[in-house]
Every structure is written in structure tokens, then in C-alpha cells.
Amino acid sequence: MKPALRAPRRLPKALAAAAFLTLLLLLMGSFFLRTYFGPVSVDQLLFHLQHGGLEQADARMLARLWRWGAGTLLLASLALLLLPRLPGWLRRASWLLLSAGAAVSVGATVQDSCEADDAEPDFLARHYADPAQQRLVQAEGTPPDVLLVFLESLDEAYAWPIDAERPLIPKLADWARSRHGGELQNLHSVSFTLAGMFGVLCGLPLQPVGLMSRNAFEHSQRFFVGGRCLTDLMAEQGWQVSFFGGASLRFAGKGKFLAAHGVTRRFGRDEWRARGLAVPPEGWGLLDSALTEQVWLDMQQPRPGARPRMDIVLTVNTHGPAGMEDPGCAPPQATAPDPEALMRLSLRCTDRAVAQLVQRFLARADGRPKLVWMMGDHVAPVQLLGAELAAWPEAVPLLFHAMARQDAQGRDQASPLQPSRVFSHFDVMPTLAEAAGLRWTPQAHRLGLGVSLLAPQAPPTLLERSGRELLDARLSCPSPLFQRLWRTTGATG
């Protein structure tokens, strides 16, 4: 009978230990995320868990995570040994404090700004101009080569700091001065790298679909199978679309996304290593000085037939929390620089490498028009250099961006961007499509949730119509549109 009497007492202890460890993991895990990545969205967490590749992250970040986890387990073990020896009131107080701390920390880290509009229950579906339903034609003349550069975590403030005489990215700031236009605002739904790329190329926020999502119970086997993106349209119109990134293609499903949407040539950390390039063991992958050199070498290879090229580049050096030393820009310092100094070095290196790539691209005398669009993929989630940067009105996060066009004779064309516009990632898709010479009906100048900034009479963007706060609240809500686009092949109607 004794074992039967003891069992009920052991079970509550095991449950209590599990509950205590869970609360401590929530507290410490959310604090870790907030420290190194800033506040994150529910969709961001679910998407990374669903598509995996987390082992391909920066080795330094993984080491921090292991140390953090080991420290949490050690702290939990000590607490579970000490708690039974405390007076009852002190144990209850400890549980209360831990529960409150975990709730506050998770609430401060994981943000969900969804506010459904009863008057417009499916906001996305109503405003979505499905690219699959458009009839596209190519304008007369030679289609341009296109260079699209996503600059990791590059805020607008890096180009226009408090001390205007000392921009942190001087070459790009000078190059963009006459090619910059309006406010490119960073919405919550495009607050990490793949979401930023997806927002630009597909004109939609990235929401998870499958087992790890808010309202679905099937796993999506293919990435956005029913949706059409800018890369699909360009490939169908004859462009050879390539992607060059320093980080692994396996991280967060990036390679799956590109492969499913017209990007026939894809290069990431594993592909560079297979080519024999020296990829640092720490960091996200091939650094920007080597990455941009590989892009330039690839641009000089014979092209298949007379096909125009679309090259997409994603930099890595300025990834948080503090950037990365790049020996291709400057020899490594004898002693490791402090985080702020390291971020300044990273910014200067990316600035020099990307500016050189763009200048080389535009200087090619090959009888082809040229189109360049560069932008930050998302704002820096944790800003190390905030004291040096200008504060934007009402703390609206803005992204660095610039656009350049040249005709077939290499003559610069005036920037079509207007300084009064307010736009988001989604408006880049139709803007680039029109700048590349594509025209379409029946929803001219609109693709996805975006409006072309080149459209006559300047029809308002969703940001100009709704404002950032309201648009963020609507875009954060789950929509049946995603279920159709992720699971239905072809047009969605």
C-alpha cells in the first residue's frame, strides 16, 4: 500500500517542477529574444519554427543561445533545491513573482497588433490585386538588366544622422541623394529578413500557414504555391533571375521560397563553400566584400541568348546584434572592437562594397538599359547607434532606399520618386515591374497590396490612405486569402 500512497505526492512535485521550469524558460527565453532581436511578432515566431533552418544562423548567436539555455537550467535546478526549504509564504511569493515576470516579459517581447475591422472583415482580400489575374505585356524597347539589393537592417537614419557631415554610409548616402524619394516605412508585418523580401517581391505580408499557424491544421508542402511574385512575372517575361546571399538558403525557408518563384540560380553559404570560397566559421556566411565581388564576376559571364538579367543581392555584414568584421575591407583589429565600433566598421564595409557593385553595374557599356533598386530589408530591431542617429517624427521607422535608371546609352534618367510619397515594401513590387517596362490590365499600376510609385496622378498607397497604425493592425490579422494562396495552385479569383 505504501507505493500507492506515495504516488499522488510525487506527481504534484513533478508537475510543479515542470511548471516552474516552463515559467523560467518563458521569462529567460523572451528576455533573450528581446535583447538580441527586439520585439517579435507571433507570425515571426511561428514562421521560423515551421520552416526551420535555425541551425544555419550565426554561430555566435547559437553559442549565446546555448549559454543562455544552460544558465537557465542551472538557475532552475538551484531554485528547485532551495524552494522546498523556504517558508510557505515565501514559496508562494516566489511563484507569484516568477509568474508575473514571465507574463510581463513575454508581453513585452511577443507583439500582436491585430485589430479586425468589422466593416471590412477581410481587408487583404479586398485590396489584393492578384498578379495571376493580370495580362502583362512588355513595353517597346530593350528590357533592362535589373539589380535589386536588400541591405541588412539598414535604417534611413544611417544615411542622415544627427551630424549630417558624418553619415555612417557616406558612399551610399551621397549616391542616393538625388535618387531617394519619400518615406519608406517599415510595417510590423515585414520586420524580419524573409518577410521584408517577401513583402517586396510578392506584395503581401508573410503569415505562416500549416501546422504552426493560428488557424490552420494542414502542413503547406510548397511555399506560397498559389501566389505569384515579381520574380515569377519577370521570369515569364524572359528575365534570368538569380539570387546572391551570404547566409544559408535553408534558413527560415528562404531557398524554398526562391526556388518556387522563378529564381533559377540561387547562391548562399553552402553554395559558396562548394565553390571553394573562404566562408568565416562565425557570422551568417560569406561577407559583403566577397559577396559583391562574386556578383560582379557572375555579371561578366556570357548570358544565355539575349535574355535580360535580374540579380537579387542580400547583404549580411550589418546583421545584429553588432555586425561583423570583414577582412576584405580592413585587416582584423588586434583586439576585438566594442559592439558600437564593430557596427560602424560593418556599415562602412557594406557601404563601400555595395556602392562599388552598383557603380560597376551602371558603368557597363553593353547597350542595355539598367535599373537599380536598393533598400534596407527591415529596420534594425536593436539599434546600437541610436545616440548618433536623427530621431524621426513620431518614431516612425524608415528604411534607406534609392532607385536609379539608365537608358541603353548609359545616360542617367531622372529619378521618378517623389519626396512627398509615403509607401511600404508592398509598393515596391508594382513600382519595379513598371520601371522594368511591364504593363498590365485590368488592375493597371497595382500588384499585390501595392501601388506603383510611377503611376500617373499618383494614386494613394495603402499607407497614405490608412496610416501606419491602422494598416499595421489590419495586416496583422489572419486572412482566408493566405489559405488560398498557400494551398491553391494557379489563379485565386
Residues 380-400 pLDDT 10s: 887 888 777 866 555 678 999
Residues 150-160 pLDDT 10s: 999 999 989 88
pLDDT given at position 452? 96
DSSP string, 341-353: HHHHHHHHHHHHH
Give the span between the Cα atoms of 389 and 155, in whole angstroms: 10
pLDDT given at position 86? 74
346 phi-psi bin (left φ>0, alpha ψ -120 to 50, beta other): alpha
Identity of residue 65: L
Return the H-helix or E-strand segment holding 258. Answer: helix 254-260
Decide: helix, strand or coil at residue 41: strand
Closest CA to 233 of 335, 337, 129, 327: 129
Tell me what the pLDDT averaged over the chain comes to.
84
Give the span between the Cα atoms of 407 and 303, in whole angstroms: 19
Grid cell digits, residue 195: 518577410
Closest CA to 425 of 399, 391, 396, 459: 399
Closest CA to 57 of 192, 248, 190, 197: 248
pLDDT given at position 394? 53
Output the tens digit of pLDDT for each of the chain's 493 residues. Answer: 455 544 444 446 677 777 777 887 888 887 777 777 777 777 777 666 666 555 566 667 667 777 877 877 787 777 777 777 778 777 778 778 878 888 888 777 777 767 666 556 678 888 999 999 999 999 888 899 999 999 999 999 898 877 777 889 999 999 998 888 889 999 988 888 999 999 999 999 987 665 444 444 344 556 888 899 999 999 999 999 999 999 999 887 889 899 999 999 999 999 999 999 989 887 788 999 999 999 999 999 988 788 999 999 999 999 988 888 899 998 877 677 888 999 999 999 999 999 999 999 999 888 899 999 999 999 888 788 877 786 655 567 899 999 999 998 889 888 888 888 999 999 999 999 999 999 999 999 999 999 999 999 899 999 999 888 889 888 888 788 887 887 665 444 3
Strands 401-406 and 370-376: antiparallel
- CA-to-CA dists, residue 115 to 199, 379, 473, angstroms: 20, 23, 5
Closest CA to 328 of 282, 380, 280: 280
